[in-house]
Amino acid sequence: MHTPNDHIYQEAQLAPMTVDEINELTRRARALPPSGDQTHVLVPDGEDPWVIAHEDQLYYCTVDRRKREILVARFSSLPEMAMAELVSVWPGTEGPTPDFVEIWAPELQLIDGNWYIYFALYNARNGEERLYTLQATSPDAQGSYEFKGKLEIPTDRWAIDGSVLPMPDGQLYFIWSGWEGFTNTSQNLYIARMSNPYTIASDRVCISRPEHPWEKQGYPYVNEGPQALVRNGRIFIIYSASGSWTDDYCLGQLTYLGGDALNPASWRKEPQPVFSKTDTIFGPGHASFVQIKGQDYIIYHAARSSQAGWARQIRAKPFTWHEDGSPDFGEPL
């Protein structure tokens, strides 16, 4: 299993530390033993985990150490994840390849029987990060993919962490993290309607921005990594809040109340985080969700220790549900 490189991130003055200072924390943390129980660690050095189940198999979508290739692993159980073979699926030979420096947070999704991968490209020009789509050319998630291009959004702004939200009526929506304007002061969550898995059919609507103190630790303020979690007709968006370089990175929750998904009033934000640090596990965030033999799991990354910068581990935890149908993640393990 690969070891991710240090996070270059966008060219911005992060607070309370600079990018250079965060990278130094990251380097130091990787040289020291991690804190917390290691029983639940799937990958000892990793970030932005995406795991999906299909036909009794699990798939893990990630990037290589240089963040230059999208990789997909297939395995039968979570303990096998760290040793599963990672197959490079992009860049490939189908369609053009744009210029880029890094690939960020790829997600493998199965929509109407076809595999798609959503990801952001960083090209070292601050503010130009955008989202892109691949479509598989065969039923094999580890096979070849056609590059479908950039997801064109009428209000074209910095955008990362894209994911598809399928509604019960079959309508697809795209959710992601982006800037309101052209400067990096806050990352908000946006939603837009799709006409197919690689085409945006409406302008964006903001459904969450950092507003609570637990969403505003570190600067710029951050809402990112939105993921749909659907069960028994209930729809939730679980997202990451606060700076990913801080101990206070955590998960928040939006609940769909019904009606027009493009109406911000259709979404209720929980006033407190739904998954946050403990005395030994810091910065839990950027999660995906998978059900294995009837048991739901949250797959997330957390810092190796306090003040670890971007040195992170991928962890797994089974979770349950509250009586009102909302997820009960409990505390990180």
Residue range 36-54, pLDDT digits in tens: 999 999 999 999 999 999 9
Cβ burial of 271 (10 Å; 0-12, 13-18, 19+) is exposed
Q: What is the pLDDT of residues 138-181, one digit of tens each?
A: 999 999 999 999 999 999 999 999 999 999 999 999 999 999 99
Give pLDDT, residue 123: 86
Average pLDDT over residues 250-255: 98
pLDDT at 305: 97
| Per annotation, catalytic residue among 48, 69, 215, 247 | 48
Q: Please give the mean pLDDT across all residues of the chain.
A: 94
Domains in the chain: boundaries: 19-328
Burial of 55 (0-12, 13-18, 19+ CB in 10 A): exposed
The bridge status of strand 186-196 relative to strand 221-231 is parallel
Q: How far apart are CA 47 and CA 62, in angstroms?
A: 8
Query: CB neighbours (10 Å) of residue 114?
Result: 13
Q: What is the mean pLDDT of residues 96-124?
A: 94
Considering the candidates 102, 129, 215, 224, report the single residue annotated as catalytic.
224
pLDDT digits 0-9 by tens, 52-94: 999 999 999 999 999 999 999 999 999 999 999 999 999 987 7
Beta bridge partners of 154: none
Residue 24 clears pLDDT 70, i.e. is over it: yes
Structure confidence at residue 12 as a pLDDT band (50, 70, 90): low
Note the pLDDT of residue 87: 98
CATH level 2 (architecture), domain 19-328? 5 Propeller (2.115)
Banded model confidence at residue 13, pLDDT cuts 50, 70, 90: low
Clarify whether 37 is annotated catalytic. Answer: no
Based on the residue annotation, tell me whether 20 is a catalytic residue of this protein.
no
Average pLDDT over residues 244-255: 98
